[in-house]
Amino acid sequence: MAESGARLLVADDNKVNRLLLARSLELQGHRVAMAENGLVALQMLRDERFDLLLLDMEMPEMTGFEVLEHLVVDLQLRDLPVIVTSSLEGVAHVARCIELGADDYLPKPVNPVLLRARINSSLEKKRLRDQQKELVRRFATAEVAHDLEQSGFALGGRRVTATVMFSDIRNFTSMVEAHGPEETIELLNTWYTLMFDAISGRGGVVNQMIGDGLMAVFGAPLPLAAPAAAAVRAAGDMLEMIELLNVERAAQRRPELAIGIGIASGEVIAGYTGTQARATYTCVGDTVNLAARLEAHTKVAQRAVLVDQATRDALGEATAVDALGAVALKGKAAPVAVFAPRLR
Amino acid sequence: MPVIDLATFSELQGSAGAEFVAELIGTFLEEAPLMLAELRAAQAAASAERFRRAAHSLKSNANTFGALRFGAMARELELGGLVADGAALDRLDAEYAAVAARLRSLRGG
């Protein structure tokens, strides 16, 4: 993207610097507005939408440092890319700008070639961030999206106690053979939409979609009062939605859809994995494996929903549960106690 | 060292356009005397911060046009602070007069 035609704000109290920088940017195909000090710049940023700010440090009324301090705590503006342009000397100044959230630092007089490269790189980073935020909005609850924005996509794991759910469509392969490709994708989309709705309605987060299956987490990244109960209630909602969908499908003389759901609770290692540009919230550990094995076992047990001992214990006596005894599951050395909640 | 480094100056013209640089010189010739006056006022008021800022601005603009000696003198004042005596400011004024004359002729030609 050479000439992106972005909307930029130049903040510099020195008129020569301001005009020259604006000129360089206009020659590179951008639309440019100017501010003669930090206070004016901040006001303009709050009033209008800009793609990027070029910020001088030494300014009357409000310095560039103070502008950066305001931006970093402003939810609307914290993701605005900032390139500092300054002739302040000393690496300490550069370090302070970067610490305060500036994307880049260009010494004055600004080299036009370097300027172009830095601006394009910052705009590209912003585009990826916007895309990531959009993905998060699409695949997570508003709370999680907010948590992600707050934490600034900090990568890195931590141990959390959570409830993990796996679900997939039974006999999906044979359904694909019965349907055409368009119909298959349409079915998957309908299924995803319904399942997302049920899961996020109970405070869970869908963090993986694998073909005809999905994985969801309850209780992380944000704590949930009773994650196990929330997951089981979500499972109930999911089954109810599938029933409604099947009524519709029966009317269209289409085969019935069946799903399996496995739920396990315990410690997981959770965190955002990937790169700064593209990260996903993921959970790994024994609890995750167990939930996946339980989901696979639903076909054998002929029950729609299976949960582990920890989930069963967390549910308390209020929820009716059938104890199915200890079952040998793939990947588990000892047999595992399996329970089937009576949901419908 | 020439008053204006022509390599820097023509690079500026190449990247921003000669016509625009002519306008920019006009802006500089309006702004620089104010900054020089601010430098003296800051010294009289013993305001180190104002003094440093004015010197900083002059340095920055000088280097833009290739007025390298003028820029170096302003930089010395920026880093040295208020210790500069009146003679240093007189020398800066004199250098500015030379820079302004050279820029006017470059703009005209």
Residues B61, A112: C-beta atoms closer than 8 Å: no
Q: Say whether B24 and A14 touch across the interface (CB within 8 A).
A: no
CB-based contact, B16 to chain A, within 8 Å: yes
Whether A1 is covered by a domain: the verdict is no
pLDDT over 90 percentage in chain A: 40
Q: Record the tokens describing residue B8, joined without a space.
A: 């820097």
Query: How buried is A218 (Cβ within 10 angstroms: 0-12 exposed, 13-18 middle, 19+ buried)?
Result: buried
pTM of the model: 0.55
Let me know whether A113 and A154 are in one domain: no
Placement of tokens 């050395």 in the chain: A333
Better-predicted residue by pLDDT, B51 or A112: B51
Q: Are residue A15 and residue A105 in the same domain, yes or no?
A: yes
| Contact (CB<8Å) A24/B63 | no
Domain count, chain A: 2
- pLDDT of residue A275 exceeding 60, the answer is no
The residue ranges of every structural domain in chain B are: 6-108
Asked if residue A132 and residue A87 are part of one domain, the reply reads yes
Q: List the single residue in A with minimal CA-CA distance to B65.
A: A109
Q: What is the pLDDT of residue A162?
A: 93
> Per-residue pLDDT tens for B2-47?
999 999 999 999 989 999 999 999 999 999 999 999 999 999 999 9
Q: Is residue A179 part of a domain?
A: yes
pLDDT of A179 reads 74
pLDDT of amino acid A156:
57
Q: Is the pLDDT of residue B109 over 80?
A: no
Task: Give the HSE-up count for residue B94: Cα atoms under 13 Å, Cβ half-sphere.
Answer: 6
Q: How far is A109 from chain B (nearest CA, A)?
A: 6
What's the rounded Cα separation, in Å, for the pair B109 and B106? 5
Last residue of a domain, one of A137, A158, A182: A137
Are both A19 and A147 inside the same structural domain?
no
Which chain B residue is nearest to residue A116, measuring alpha carbons?
B15
Sequence-distant (≥ 6) Cβ neighbours of residue B84 within 8 angstroms? B43, B51, B76, B77
Angstrom distance (rounded) from CA B68 to CA B1:
8
Find which of B57, B58, B70 to mutate to test the A interface (most A CBs within 10 Å of its CB). B57
The CATH number of residue A332's host domain is 3.30.70.1230
Buried b (16+ CB within 10 A) or exposed e, A141-169: beebbebbbeeebeeeeeebbbbbbbbbb
More confident call, A135 vs B22 = B22
pLDDT higher for A339 or A328?
A339
Residues A93 and A16 in one domain: yes
Is residue A120 domain-shared with residue A165, that is, in the same domain? no
Cβ within 8 Å of A, B 24-83? 24, 27-28, 31, 53, 56-57, 59-61, 63-64, 79
> Does residue B86 sit at the A interface (CB-CB below 8 Å)?
no
Q: What is the pLDDT of residue A56?
A: 92
For residues A121 and A163, membership in a common domain is answered with no
Q: How far apart are CA A140 and CA A151, in angstroms?
A: 15
A207 three-state secondary structure? strand
Residues A173 and A252 in one domain: yes
Q: CB of A280 within 8 A of CB of A274?
A: yes
Which one, of A166, A128, A129, lies nearest residue A283 by Cα? A166
Tell me the shortest Cα–Cα distance from B87 to chain A, in angstroms: 25
CA dist., res. B68 & res. B99, Å (int): 10
Q: Using 50, 70 and 90 to split pLDDT, how confident is the model at A208?
A: confident
For B60, which of A27, A108, A112 is closest by C-beta distance? A108
Q: What is the mean pLDDT of residues A24-39?
A: 93
Do A128 and A257 lie in one domain? The reply is: no
In this complex, do A16 and B31 lie within 8 Å of one another by their Cβ atoms?
Answer: yes
Residues on chain A touching B59 (C-beta within 8 angstroms): 87
Chain A residues lying within 8 Å of B57, measured CB to CB: 13-14, 58
Is A194 within 8 Å of A159 (Cβ atoms)?
Answer: no
Per-residue exposure over A27-46, b if at least 16 CB sit within 10 Å of its own CB, e if not: ebebebebbbbbbbbbebbe
Binding-face residues of A in 112-171 toward B, CB within 8 A = 112
pLDDT of residue A317: 81
Task: Point out the domain boundary residue: A137, A164, A183.
Answer: A137
Asked if A343 and A238 touch (Cβ cutoff 8 Å), the reply is: no
pLDDT digits (tens, 9 = 90+) for B54-80: 999 999 999 999 999 999 999 999 998
Give the pLDDT of residue A109: 77
Closest CA to A172 of A106, A257, A88: A257
Residue type, A41: A
**ipTM (interface pTM):** 0.90
Last residue of a domain, one of A111, A137, A163: A137
Q: What is the pLDDT of residue A248?
A: 85
Q: What CATH number is associated with residue A85?
A: 3.40.50.2300
Residue A19, chain B, CB below 8 Å: the answer is yes
Instruction: Find the helix packing angle between B86-108 and B18-44, rounded to 10°.
Output: 170
Say which residue the tokens 């300490």 belong to: A92
Q: Which residue of A has its CA nearest to B25?
A: A16
Q: Which CATH architecture has domain B6-108?
A: Up-down Bundle (1.20)
Query: Per residue in A66-113, pLDDT tens?
Result: 999 999 888 788 889 999 988 777 777 788 888 888 888 888 778 888
What values do phi and psi take at A332, rounded to 5? -110, 130
**A39 in any annotated domain:** yes
What is residue B26's predicted lDDT score, i.e. its pLDDT?
96
**Does the structure show a pLDDT above 60 at A137?**
no
Q: Which domain holds residue A309?
A: 141-341
The answer as to whether A58 is a domain residue is yes
Residue owning tokens 């790169």 = A275
Q: What is the separation of C-alpha A241 from the centre of its chain, rounded to a whole number of angstroms?
A: 25
Which tens digits make up the pLDDT trace of A149-203? 665 545 456 778 899 999 999 877 777 777 777 788 888 888 888 898 899 889 8
Task: Mutate one of B4, B5, B11, B15 to test the A interface: name it (highest A CB count within 10 A).
Answer: B15
Is the pLDDT assigned to residue A236 strictly greater than 80?
Answer: yes
What's the whole-number mean pLDDT along residues A1-23?
A: 85
Q: Is A16 on the interface with B (CB under 8 A)?
A: yes
Supply the DSSP symbol for A261: E
Chain A: give the shortest CA distance to residue B25, in Å.
8
Beta bridge partners of residue A282, listed in sequence order: A271
Contacts of A262 (CB under 8 A, 6+ apart): A165, A166, A167, A290, A291, A292, A293, A294, A295, A296, A297, A298, A305, A306, A307
- Rounded to whole angstroms, how far apart are CA atoms A51 and A33? 11
Mean pLDDT of chain A: 84
Chain B nearest CA to A64, separation (Å) = 14
Q: Would you state the pLDDT for residue A278?
A: 53
A68 and A169 part of one domain? no
The pLDDT of residue A1: 40
pLDDT digits (tens, 9 = 90+) for A249-263: 888 888 888 999 999
If asked whether residues A128 and A238 sit together in one domain, one would say no
- pLDDT higher than threshold 50 for residue A307: yes
Q: Are residues A65 and A212 in the same domain?
A: no
> Which DSSP letter does residue A111 get?
P
The pair of three-digit structure tokens given for residue A210, joined into one six-digit string: 């694998």
CB A47 within 8 A of CB B45: no
Q: How far is CA A119 from CA A10, A59, A234, in A?
A: 12, 22, 46
